[in-house]
Amino acid sequence: MNDMQLKRRAHEELAAYRAEHVPLFNDQPLKFGVFSINSNGSVFMSEPPSSFEVSWPHSLAIAEQVDRMGFELIVPVARWQGFGGTTNWAGENFETLTYAAGLAARTSKVMTFATVHASVVNPVAAAKAITTIDHISNGRAGLNVVMGWNEAEMAMLGVRMREHGDRYKLGAEWLEIVDRLWTETKPFDYDGDYFQLKNLEAAPKPIQMRPVVINAGGSPAGIDFSARYADVNYTVFTTSEQASRYCQSIRATAFNDHGRTLQMVTMVIVVCRDTEGEAKAAYQSIIDHGDWTAAGNFARGLNIQTFGEHLKPEILAKFVAGSGSHAIVGTPEQVVDGLRAVKAAGIDGVFLGLIDYVEELKYFEERVMPLLGQAGLRR
């Protein structure tokens, strides 16, 4: 058996384990989650009327709600500095490792991820932290590993901003160390270009065979990293055709080059009301209350080399109304039609971006979830 065949067999064994034990790999046709509920504004650079706030009781209310609804994942965003403007968007936030641990202790089904900058958190500490969350959650921990693109944040943390491709090379070494600490039982040394570590060991091991890893790489270097190391690739798109081409391409890279399969997730802004007119008015309210200064600062900070053409916004309003994400605006029936198109494009799961999570999740559960079942998108 050659090396590629061995890789595929190992991946198949992991996939079989996950299908039975890991929520994100259940048999739901379309997975659901929430993203960035730990940060002010969540995914909106705007201040429309909403009860959303950065507080532990509010975060817990959202987490317990999506847990009851059977959602598969909660992923907080790792931010260290805001983007100015009237809201200083993303400047008020909870750190993600402790946040994920806290949510893990208060939920029973949903996976709780921590977003970790590979250039900021030591890989030995990260491996131990994710393992701890996995035990707290009884096997529901996940790692969203990011390389860091915001130069101001890296300067704040005293971290040198490396060249784009170099960041992914560092990330590869970082994740290799984490993986080995999760699986190997004997101490080992690591002598790489970025990490030189001695006598590494970690116990206990995670409950999972391997905690789930998400990465948002979309550049050539990012695609190679996700295809080689990640279990889930996060992407943002502007059209279904664009999403379809991207999903096919990165999956082909993962399978042909590394003997692996990838799940694909994306952010979908959902503004759902009883009538299309009400939904459009609510979406327009996001635009009308937009923090255009923060959105401009965010847009100028993005490096197209980092995120790939599939994330480049056509208009600044898409940042205001969802950080550049795809939006579905309309009635429950129209929302289901939109989600059906997202699924058809090759997406396995969506993060719901909602103006008012607590109130709109109740509406989504009552009015949209039954229609998703009828459409074959949820069981």
Q: Mind giving me the DSSP string for 296-348?
A: HHHHHH--HHHH-GGG--SSTHHHHTTTT-EEEEE-HHHHHHHHHHHHHTT--
3-state SS, residue 282: helix
pLDDT reported for residue 239: 86
What's the pTM? 0.94
Q: Does the pLDDT at position 313 exceed 50?
A: no
Q: Which tokens go with 175?
A: 């994740």
Q: How far is CA 188 from CA 51, 181, 200, 202, in A?
A: 50, 9, 5, 10
What is the rounded average pLDDT of the residues 104-127? 98
pLDDT tens digits along 195-254: 999 999 999 999 999 999 999 999 999 999 999 999 999 999 878 899 999 999 999 999
Strands 196-200 and 188-191: antiparallel
pLDDT reported for residue 314: 59
Q: Which residues contact 256 (CB under 8 A, 6 or more apart)?
A: none
What is the band of 56 on the pLDDT scale with cuts at 50, 70, 90? very high
Phi/psi of residue 321, nearest 5 degrees: -100, 45
Q: Which tokens go with 239?
A: 């059209």
CA distance 294 to 171: 29
pLDDT reported for residue 23: 96
Rg of the Cα trace of the chain? 20
What is the band of 11 on the pLDDT scale with cuts at 50, 70, 90? confident
On the 0-12 / 13-18 / 19+ scale of CB atoms within 10 A, 5 is exposed
Give the single-character DSSP code of 188.
E
Q: How far is CA 18 from CA 2, 14, 231, 294, in A?
A: 25, 6, 11, 40
Q: Does the pLDDT at position 147 exceed 80?
A: yes
Place of tokens 């798109």: 237
Q: Does the pLDDT at position 310 exceed 70?
A: no
Q: Does the pLDDT at position 180 exceed 70?
A: yes
pLDDT reported for residue 315: 67
Asked if 127 and 202 count as a contact pair (C-beta separation under 8 A), the reply is yes
Work out the percent of the chain whose per-residue pLDDT is above 90.
Answer: 87
pLDDT tens digits along 323-367: 889 999 999 999 999 999 999 999 999 999 999 999 999 999 999
CATH topology of domain 3-374: TIM Barrel (3.20.20)
CA distance 164 to 219: 9
3-state SS, residue 197: strand
Q: Which residues contact 87 (CB under 8 A, 6 or more apart)?
A: 40, 41, 45, 46, 47, 291, 294
Q: Which residues contact 27 (CB under 8 A, 6 or more apart)?
A: 19, 379
List the one residue out of 309, 303, 310 whose CA is nearest residue 346.
310
What is the rounded average pLDDT of the residues 47-61? 97
Work out the percent of the chain whose per-residue pLDDT is above 70.
Answer: 96
pLDDT reported for residue 299: 81
Q: How far is CA 283 from CA 46, 53, 189, in A?
A: 11, 19, 54
